[in-house]
Amino acid sequence: MKIESETGFSEESLRRIAEQKIKYRLSIKIHFFLYLLGNSLLVLINLLTLSYYFWFLFPLLGWFIGLTMHVVAYCLYAKGVYPMAKRGVILHFFAYLTVNLLLFAIDTNLMNNFMFGSLRWAYYPAIFWGVGLLLHIIVYFTYFSGSVIEKGVGKSKKERAIEKEMLKMKKRTLKKNK
């Protein structure tokens, strides 16, 4: 009972959350071990067959994207990052970084810095996706990010707009009933 009064969660809820965190943490460890093992094997195969061309970088970076998303998702869950819109921005940011890392590796190693117009081709997805990411961040901060109101309770612009609209609806209903 003491835990519930201190945290706002029942013992059973805390147990479920702790169990889920342990499962996620084990999943991360397994994925990381397989990432190291699998990529070590690919490096070995690469060096034994085509030691003059390092093709192992592509699966290594591709797999790194998935591993990064697992780790970031776990960290967001473990830290209790809410709302989901904030999680979305953070995941979008890490996906942007890791995918563009792979694209620039492909550009440098396979495409020989192929130019498309006045820029290397890998800059185009980085720029346009970067604009999309920037818009995502702006929308989050203007629409979903909360301001602390009373007693530490945060209300986002969306929540405030909903409450304002509900108040208008209540007033209209009261006027019609008079």
Q: Going from the first residue of the chain to its last (178 residues), give the mean pLDDT of each consecutive group of 10, the final group possibly shorter.
A: 60 86 91 96 95 90 93 88 86 95 88 83 93 93 66 65 78 76
pTM: 0.70
- pLDDT at residue 103 in the model: 92
What local confidence, expressed as pLDDT, does residue 151 receive?
A: 45
Is 158 within 8 Å of 164 (Cβ atoms)?
no
Pairing of strands 146-148, 154-156: antiparallel
What was the pLDDT predicted at 4?
55
Provide the pairing of β-strand 146-148 with 115-116: unpaired
- Whether the upstream peptide bond of residue 59 has omega within 30° of 0, thus cis, is no
Long-range pairs of 143-148 with CB within 8 A, sequence gap ≥ 24: 143/85, 144/83, 144/85, 144/86, 145/86
Residue 3: per-residue pLDDT: 54
